[in-house]
Amino acid sequence: MTAVKTRCLDKSNQLWQEAQETILSGCQLYSKGPETHIQGVSPIYIDHGKGAHVWDPDGNEYIDYDMGLGPILLGYQYQPVDDAVIAQLRRGMGYSLVAPEEVAYAKLCIENIPSAGKVRFLKTGSAATEAAIRIARAYTGRKYILRGEYHGWHEWTTAAEGVRQGGVLDEVRQYVHKFDYNDLEAAEAYFSQHKGQVAAVITEPVILDAPKDDFLNRLKALCHENGALLIFDEVVDGFRFGIGGAQAYFGVTPDLSTFGKATANGMPLSIVAGRKEIMEAVDKKIFISTTFGGECLSLAAGIAVMHELKHKNVTKRIWAIGEKLQTTFRQLAEQIGVPIDLAGYPCRLSLEYTDYAGRRDWLYNSLFMQECVKRGVLLGWHVFPCYSHTDEDIDVTLNVFEDAMRVYKKALDSGNPASFMEGIPLKIVLG
């Protein structure tokens, strides 16, 4: 049995009151906001982190699994990355001319990412996917885009979401179609509907479910038969699956790919990578240009992350942690008899909750997350193992998972699971 921690959340709650008065929508990333956690039970803010642990402003400590929503691959305050950033800080954050770090980092990308014949650097995942689409449209001279799950907040992605459509031009919507991962037939149908007009398919190489029936190779063939480009959005998968991303893991090289979150262990750095011939063909046609694209602190962090991935057993360790979590979680769920799964690949896991009839409801996510956070394990969208999760962290977490499962079962068995909520359940509109 793990102890339920007595926690005060006053400072978090006070900050949120102030944020609502001062910040549009209260925070900068929807998925970090209180709607995606249990208001009244979860902290709203994190004050600092070290290793795989974080502390809220009221001083409560948690083992973190959302890892900054993906960026923290190595750990908070990870020494080699922090040292590289501090050394760079002493020399300058960015100059009036190009910095040599851009060339050093570009060479590392080209050496390690299969689809990287040439690269460009940006700050966010959204900027990288936007650039990839701009390149694909410029290269093919076509308008239509077939897209998978979430790819960012810009117009062509938001247009296909169906929620929060304020400020999005209706005209944009017609050029973007969304299809489900592994649904090759849906992609084929869109290609037939817009013959000779599809510029690109953009998809994550993998989310949770494995590619079925050689999905990735067949999607690539479908694109090429139709003169379109295949873009892998590796903003989440990249570096987490290994230094070459999920494209190296699955052995399928796309025409273009995008990297973001884990690129620089928390520093803002994203990459659009592409076949040299494509990048050179669009070079003089296209305008991608941004002041902070070559900002040096992030490049120094990116170089340090590459170094860690190349020279330490980071990838192996991350996968081993994920395997331990997933295997033991599944055994516990089976033993206790709860319909919860820790799904996905060991380096990128996510919890899937249902009732006994297999029905999903945010209430079920809320219940489990509530019981974990009360015991010092902070869950969000994903379960991302990081290089700094210790064996002890994993053992504590699995004990917490076991206790949370027992409460979950009791709640389902009671016929009134909502009565087990101590805070406000999740109210998610995106995701």
Ligand X SMILES: Cc1ncc(COP(=O)(O)O)c(C=O)c1O
Q: In the complex, which residues of this chain contact ligand X (CB under 6 A)?
A: 124-126, 129, 150-152, 204, 233, 235-236, 260
Q: Comparing C-alpha atoms, which of 243, 255, 259 is closest to residue 125?
A: 259
Choose between 294 and 380: whose C-beta lies nearer to ligand X.
380
Residue closer to ligand X by CB (options 55, 249) is 249
In whole angstroms, the minimum distance from the beta carbon of 71 to ligand X comes to 9
Q: Where are the beta strands (DSSP E) in 60-194?
A: 61-64, 118-122, 144-147, 176-178
| Least distance (Å) between residue 360 CB and ligand X | 20
Min separation Cβ 120 and ligand X, Å: 15
Q: How far is the CB of 260 from ligand X (least distance, A)?
A: 5
Question: How far is the C-alpha of 51 from the C-alpha of 337, rounded, in Å?
Answer: 33
The H or E element containing residue 350 is: strand 348-353
Q: What angle do CA 354, 352, 398 make, to 5 degrees?
A: 110
Tokens of 73: 């691959």
CB-nearest residue to ligand X: 125
How far is it, in rounded angstroms, from Cα 253 to Cα 274? 10
CA dist., res. 405 & res. 353, Å (int): 11
Cβ proximity to ligand X, 4 vs 29, nearer residue: 29
Total count of residues recorded for the chain: 431
- Cβ nearer to ligand X, comparing 101 with 204: 204
Nearer to ligand X, 124 or 328 (CB): 124
Query: Please, what is the minimum distance in Å from the beta carbon of residue 243 to ligand X?
Result: 19
Cα–Cα separations (whole angstroms), residue 341 to 39, 253, 358, 383, 384: 24, 30, 11, 12, 15
Q: Least distance to ligand X from the beta carbon of 256, Å?
A: 13
Residue 131 phi/psi, 5° resolution?
Answer: -65, -40
Query: Which is nearest to 40 in space by CA: 373, 397, 430, 402?
Result: 373
For residues 66 and 101, which CB has a smaller minimum distance to ligand X in the complex? 66
Q: Quote the least distance from Cβ 130 to ligand X, whole Å.
A: 9
Token pair 């954050």 in the structure block, residue:
93
The SS3 assignment for 30 reads: helix
Which amino acid, 374? K
Residue with smaller CB distance to ligand X, 226 or 365: 365
In the complex, what is the shortest distance from the CB of residue 125 to ligand X, in angstroms, rounded to a whole number? Answer: 2
CB of 245 to ligand X, least distance (A): 12
- Residues in Cβ contact with 44 at an 8 Å cutoff, skipping those fewer than 6 apart: 9, 12, 13, 15, 16, 34, 37
Q: Which is nearer to ligand X, 2 or 265 (CB)?
A: 265
CB atoms under 10 Å from CB of 430, counted, come to 14
Q: How far is the CB of 140 from ligand X (least distance, A)?
A: 21
Distance CA 132, CA 41 (A): 40
Amino acid at 181: Y
| Helices 296-311, 79-89: inter-axial angle, 10-degree rounding | 150
Q: Rank residues 205 and 376 by Cβ distance to ligand X and give the closer one.
A: 205
